[in-house]
């Protein structure tokens, strides 16, 4: 595999070159990225490079000085100029210095870059190196790179959940040596790009990884670990007063945590700004609590990712020790919420249902994990979908036309990853559902709605104020309108429905009076007996005796 060096003082150019093609798939490996010729030339003293992609105009040491230095430091390296629009004279001068080719860095396409690389004469260069060729880089990953890859695999949350042994520093000596450079504590950092519709292309993900590596490289003693799933990972030595490893204690860790948190927060803000400005990517950042370098790195990763999940959902930067202990919604609370939301649906109040969810988030937002809020949203809109289908029987075309990408509700709610999207999506689903209900209500008529509700829920407690809300009237106006439309009071109508059902149960079953009273909505059997006699002109005992 051929090793490649990139030298350019523009961060976007460095990131773009690293991410625009899958280098390893074409037989190359990015072995060094530098912002001026001095850094690049120093690197040539430590390792061999097969290809050097370099700008001409750079501070400290420009491209011409670098090319001249490469004659001695790396005579077999193939040099390609990264040319700007107005650099033709410079490019021509560089070619006279032995540069193999040039490419416009502002108009470059992946195909053009691969064409230039494919035209390089590596055979002649290999002869200059005594036939070593690509074998000089046959080792592939460095010890650090190999350890970083293994670390992310060994600390994977799925592997940890399967009961595998946690990762410790003794299994990763190269990484531990970097982190141990200043003391006994470090933080694991997890960087999560905020998901967007359609996801991120492979080139965009590579650009994120390279930008993260470049940002990490500016810090003292960073340990970038790499990418796993949708998250970028790294480790950083705590900046606060760090006690010796033998003196580590909960109190010492807490003191170090408080002292260095502000520095890490500033660093996170700089990262987020760089991702936004350079890649138009919004970044969520989570830091683990300070961890002993010789401790459980699996726990460190888990803490950083938990903090990043909170940051992703709520925005900003989060530290594990200040994010709070967020758990699952208890079963008893699930049941209470289910009953409350079901009652809202019975009263045809999807808007109030959304208000309940928003109020619940405002009250208990820091009590439960982000995944729990997403699960609650999915459960609630699933109830809403079932209700709309059962109550109004809308067709597939009507649902797609009215709700668009929000249908099916559960899928739309399941794609939510942020609190802002949670509020917006649930609010839109509720608002459009309310529009559907209003249209159906206008078509069906309010009396039909009330009758349908009573005939379906006569066994439940039914209050006049609930029926007034269902009809869209005030309580007094509802009573007047119901008598005008039906010729009887609502209470007489409700009693009639319940006693008719009681008569049927007395005739067709052997249930007791108490059981029948409960089934038709009377909690007090004695009161039921009085109502039954008033409505039928017979006592319960006399009626049962005539069966």
Q: What is the CATH number for 226?
A: 3.30.70.270
> Is the bond preceding residue 408 a cis peptide, omega within 30 degrees?
yes
Q: Which two structure tokens, joined as six digits, stand for 143?
A: 């010890």
In a domain, 271, yes or no: yes
- pLDDT of 87 > 70? The answer is no
C-beta separation of 513 from 540 below 8 A = yes
Q: How many separate helices (H) and strands (E) can be counted in the chain?
A: 25, 11
C-beta separation of 543 from 536 below 8 A = yes
Half-sphere exposure of 415 (CA within 13 A, CB side): 14
Whole-angstrom distance, CA of residue 342 vs CA of residue 433? 15
Of the residues 284, 319, 354, the one at which a domain ends: 319
Same domain, 13 and 123: yes
Same domain, 402 and 312: no
- pLDDT of 198 > 50? The answer is yes
pLDDT digits (tens, 9 = 90+) for 268-305: 999 999 999 989 999 999 999 888 888 889 999 999 99
CA distances from 413 to 325, 379, 403, 431, 438 (A): 24, 9, 13, 15, 23
Q: Which two structure tokens, joined as six digits, stand for 132?
A: 């070593």
Give residue 242's pLDDT.
Answer: 45
Give residue 186's pLDDT.
Answer: 87
Least confident of 98-107, 373-382, 426-435, 446-455: 98-107
In a domain, 26, yes or no: yes
Whole-angstrom distance, CA of residue 305 vs CA of residue 286? 6
Mean pLDDT comparison of 170-179, 231-240, 259-268, 372-381, highest-scoring range:
372-381
Q: Tokens 């119901």 identify what position? A: 482
**Eight-class DSSP state of 168:** B
Range of the domain at 56: 2-137
What SS3 state is found at 83? strand
DSSP states of 312-366: HHH-SEEETTTS---BPPPHHHHHHHHHHHHHHHHTT-HHHHHHHHHHHHHHHTT
Same domain, 373 and 433: yes
User: In terms of DSSP H, where are the helices of 238-296?
Assistant: 250-279
pLDDT bracket for residue 203 (50, 70, 90)? confident
Same domain, 169 and 308: yes
Same domain, 165 and 50: no
Q: What is the CATH number for 8?
A: 3.40.50.2300
Q: CB under 8 Å to 338, separation ≥6 — which residues?
A: 379, 383
Whole-angstrom distance, CA of residue 425 vs CA of residue 380? 12
Torsion angles phi and psi, residue 166, rounded to 5: -60, 155
C-beta separation of 285 from 302 below 8 A = no
What is the SS3 assignment for 445-493? Answer: CHHHHHHHHHHHHCCCCCCHHHHHHHHCCCHHHHHHHHHHHHCCCHHHH
Whole-angstrom distance, CA of residue 27 vs CA of residue 122? 12
Same domain, 133 and 147: no
Closest by alpha carbon to 189, among 258, 277, 290, 274? Answer: 290
C-beta separation of 291 from 173 below 8 A = no
Average pLDDT over residues 312-335: 90
- pLDDT of 513 > 50? The answer is yes
pLDDT digits (tens, 9 = 90+) for 119-160: 887 765 555 555 444 444 444 455 777 888 889 988 875 544
Whole-angstrom distance, CA of residue 329 vs CA of residue 376? 9
**Percent of the chain beyond pLDDT 90?**
39
Same domain, 337 and 434: yes
Q: Which two structure tokens, joined as six digits, stand for 148?
A: 């970083």
In a domain, 22, yes or no: yes
Helix pair angle (63-73, 37-44), 10° resolution? 10
Whole-angstrom distance, CA of residue 263 vs CA of residue 189? 13
Torsion angles phi and psi, residue 308, rounded to 5: -65, -35
In a domain, 449, yes or no: no
Give residue 343's pLDDT.
Answer: 86
Same domain, 393 and 263: no
Torsion angles phi and psi, residue 6, rounded to 5: -115, 130
Give residue 64's pLDDT.
Answer: 85
Same domain, 287 and 193: yes
Q: Which residues pair with 431 in a beta bridge?
A: none
Of the residues 97, 121, 137, the one at which a domain ends: 137
In a domain, 325, yes or no: no
- pLDDT of 460 > 80? The answer is yes
Q: What is the pTM of this model?
A: 0.64
**Eight-class DSSP state of 237:** E
Closest by alpha carbon to 337, among 386, 371, 379? Answer: 379
**Percent of the chain beyond pLDDT 70?**
86
pLDDT digits (tens, 9 = 90+) for 340-370: 998 888 777 888 899 999 999 999 998 999 9
Same domain, 86 and 178: no
Same domain, 119 and 147: no
In a domain, 352, yes or no: yes
In a domain, 451, yes or no: no
Whole-angstrom distance, CA of residue 478 vs CA of residue 347? 15
Half-sphere exposure of 14 (CA within 13 A, CB side): 22
pLDDT digits (tens, 9 = 90+) for 410-436: 999 999 989 999 999 999 999 999 888
Give residue 116's pLDDT.
Answer: 86
3-state helix, strand, coil in the chain (%, to 5): 60, 10, 30
C-beta separation of 253 from 290 below 8 A = yes
For the chain, the domain total comes to 4
Give residue 241's pLDDT.
Answer: 43
Q: What is the CATH number for 520?
A: 1.10.10.60
Torsion angles phi and psi, residue 151, rounded to 5: -60, -45
Closest by alpha carbon to 338, among 388, 389, 387, 403? Answer: 387
In a domain, 452, yes or no: no
Least confident of 89-93, 154-158, 225-229, 498-502: 89-93
Q: What is the average pLDDT value for the chain, to the nearest integer?
A: 84
What SS3 state is found at 488? coil
Q: Which two structure tokens, joined as six digits, stand for 479?
A: 């009573």
Of the residues 415, 444, 473, the one at which a domain ends: 444
Give residue 246's pLDDT.
Answer: 45
Average pLDDT over residues 91-116: 75
Same domain, 86 and 111: yes
Closest by alpha carbon to 409, among 335, 331, 345, 330? Answer: 345
Whole-angstrom distance, CA of residue 265 vs CA of residue 187? 12
């Amino acid at each position: 595999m051929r090793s490649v060096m990139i030298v350019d003082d523009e961060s976007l150019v460095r990131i773009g070159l690293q991410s625009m093609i899958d280098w390893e798939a074409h037989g190359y490996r990015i072995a060094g990225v530098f912002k001026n010729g001095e850094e690049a030339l120093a690197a040539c003293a430590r390792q061999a490079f097969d290809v050097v992609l370099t700008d001409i105009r750079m501070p400290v040491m420009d491209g011409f000085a670098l090319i001249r230095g490469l004659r001695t430091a790396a005579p077999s390296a193939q040099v390609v100029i990264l040319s700007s629009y107005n650099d033709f004279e410079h490019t021509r001068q560089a070619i006279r210095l032995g540069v193999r080719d040039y490419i416009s860095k502002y108009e470059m396409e992946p195909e053009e870059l691969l064409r230039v690389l494919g035209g390089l004469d590596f055979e002649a260069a290999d002869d200059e190196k005594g036939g070593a060729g690509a074998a000089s880089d046959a080792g592939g990953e460095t010890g650090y790179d190999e350890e970083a890859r293994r670390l992310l695999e060994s600390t994977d949350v799925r592997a940890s959940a399967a009961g595998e042994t946690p990762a410790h520093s003794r299994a990763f000596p190269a990484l531990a040596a970097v982190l141990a450079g200043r003391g006994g504590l470090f933080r694991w950092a997890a960087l999560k790009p905020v998901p967007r519709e359609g996801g991120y292309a492979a080139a965009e993900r590579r650009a994120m990884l390279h930008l993260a590596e470049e940002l990490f490289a500016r810090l003292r003693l960073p340990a970038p670990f790499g990418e796993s799933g949708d998250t970028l990972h790294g480790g950083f030595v705590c900046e606060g007063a760090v006690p010796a490893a033998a003196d580590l204690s909960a109190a010492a860790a807490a003191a170090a945590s408080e002292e260095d948190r502000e520095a890490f927060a500033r660093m996170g803000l700089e990262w987020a700004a760089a991702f936004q400005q350079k890649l138009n990517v919004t970044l969520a950042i989570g830091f683990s609590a300070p961890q002993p370098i010789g401790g459980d790195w699996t726990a460190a990763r888990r803490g950083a990712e938990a903090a990043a999940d909170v940051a992703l959902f709520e925005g900003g930067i989060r530290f594990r020790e200040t994010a709070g202990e967020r758990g699952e919604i208890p079963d008893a609370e699930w049941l209470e919420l289910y009953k409350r939301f079901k009652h809202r649906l019975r009263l045809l109040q999807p808007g109030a249902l959304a208000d309940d969810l928003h109020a619940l988030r405002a009250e208990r937002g820091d009590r439960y994990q982000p995944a729990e809020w997403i699960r609650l949203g999915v459960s609630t809109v699933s109830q809403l979908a079932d209700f709309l289908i059962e109550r109004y029987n809308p067709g597939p075309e009507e649902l797609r036309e009215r709700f668009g990408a929000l249908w099916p509700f559960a899928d739309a709610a399941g794609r939510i990853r942020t609190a802002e999207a949670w509020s917006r999506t649930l609010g839109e689903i509720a608002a459009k559902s309310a529009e559907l209900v209003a249209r159906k209500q206008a078509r069906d008529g309010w009396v039909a709605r009330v009758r349908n509700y009573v005939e379906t829920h006569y066994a439940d407690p039914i209050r006049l104020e609930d029926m007034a809300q269902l009809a869209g009237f005030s309580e007094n106006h509802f009573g007047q309108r119901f008598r005008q439309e039906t010729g009887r009071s609502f209470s007489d109508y409700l009693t009639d429905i319940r006693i008719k059902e009681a008569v049927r149960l007395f005739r067709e079953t052997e249930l007791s009076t108490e059981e029948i009273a409960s089934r038709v909505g009377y909690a007090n059997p004695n009161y039921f007996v009085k109502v039954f006699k008033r409505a039928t002109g017979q006592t319960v005992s006399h009626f049962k005796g005539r069966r």
